[in-house]
Amino acid sequence: MDPTDSTTGGELTPVPLRLPGGGVNLAADRWGDSAAPVVLFLHGGGQTRRSWDEAARAVSDRGWQALTVDHRGHGESDWPVEALYGWDHFADDIAALVAGFDSPPVVVGASLGGIAALLAQRRTGTQLYRALVLVDVTPTMDPEGVRRIIGFMGAHPEGFATLDEASQVISEYTGRPRPDSTEGLRQVLRHENGRWRWHWDVRFLHGRDRPTGEREEMLRELMLEGAARVRVPTLVVRGTRSELVSPEAVQEFLRAVPGARYVDVQDAAHMVAGDQNDRFVEAVLGFLDDLPAVEDGPRPDDEDDSDKDLPT
C-alpha cells in the first residue's frame, strides 16, 4: 500500500490505491493515517466506493484509517473479461483484501458488501474481521424488495441523455427530492458514446434479474452459516423504510450472532447512508468507540467449509 498519509495541508483528501482481489485488481481510496487501524467499507451492488466518502471522512477524523473499495465490475476496479460475478467471486475478493492487512479490519458492508463479507467468513474457522457492520442486509431479505431494486438497476441499459434526466429518474425511484446540483452523479455515472451510463458492468445482473426461490433460499442458508461463524462485535444498521430487511429478519440474524447489536435509522430506506448519512455515521462511530482492544493471534471457530458451491 502507498505509505503516505491522506492528510495534506490540513485538508483530508483520499489517496487512490490499487489492491489485489481474487484474481482482479480493485480500486480503493484511503482516508486518514496509513498506520491507523483499518475500517474497510464495501458498497452495495450498482454503487461505487464514492458512496462512502462522507462516512470515510468522519471515521478517519476519529483516528481510523478508512478504506473504501470498488467491487469487481464497479467503478474503477477491474471489469472481468468473462462475467465472473458469482457470489463466490465477491467472497474471493473480500478474503484476498483481508489477507493483505497486518491485522483484521473492521468491515462495513452494505447489501452486496455485507453478503460477500458473510460468505467469506463462512469459509474459514479464523475470524476475518475485527468487527462487522452490516448495512441493511441480513440472510433473509424480502424477495419483492430484491426484485424492485434489481428492476431499477436494469431498467436503463441505454443510459441517459443528460445528467438532469438521470437525476429525475433516480428521484422518482427513491422518493427523495432532486438535489440542486447534478455534479454528484458524476461519481456513479460515466460518459460514454454521448450517453451517461451506470459506472458498473451490466453483466453483474445476469441471472439476478430472474430470481428463483431455490437460489434465494440457498443464499439465505449460506449467509446464515457465515453468520454462525462470526465471533466478533457485530452491528446491524437497518433503515426503517427498508425494502429488503424486516425487523423479523434482523431478529433471526441476532439469534445467529449472540451479542450482536441492532440500530434502526429513521426515515432511511435501503440506501441508509445516502438517505440519512448523519444518523448512519453516528451509529457507526458509536459502535467503533465501544470496540474492545485488539486481541493477539487468530480466533479459531470450527473447521473450514469452503468447498460448498455458492449460488451465482
Query: For residues 279 and 266, is the Cβ–Cβ distance under 8 A?
Result: yes
pLDDT at 4 over 50: no
Query: For 279-292, what is the mean pLDDT?
Result: 97
Q: Helix or strand or coil: residue 83?
A: coil
Percentage above 90 pLDDT, the chain: 73
pLDDT in tens, 234-251: 999 999 999 999 999 999
Q: Which domains are seen in the chain, by residue range?
A: 14-141+213-289 (3.40.50.1820)
Task: List for the chain the helix, strand, coil content (%; round to 5).
Answer: 35, 20, 45
Give the H/E segment covering residue 234: strand 234-239
Please determine, for residue 175, whether its predicted confidence score (pLDDT) is greater than 90.
no
pLDDT band at 208, cuts 50/70/90? confident
Instruction: State the pLDDT confidence band at 206, using cuts at 50, 70 and 90.
Output: confident
Sign for the CA dihedral angle at 138, 143, 145, 151 comes to positive
Q: Give the pairing type, strands 195-198 and 189-192.
A: antiparallel
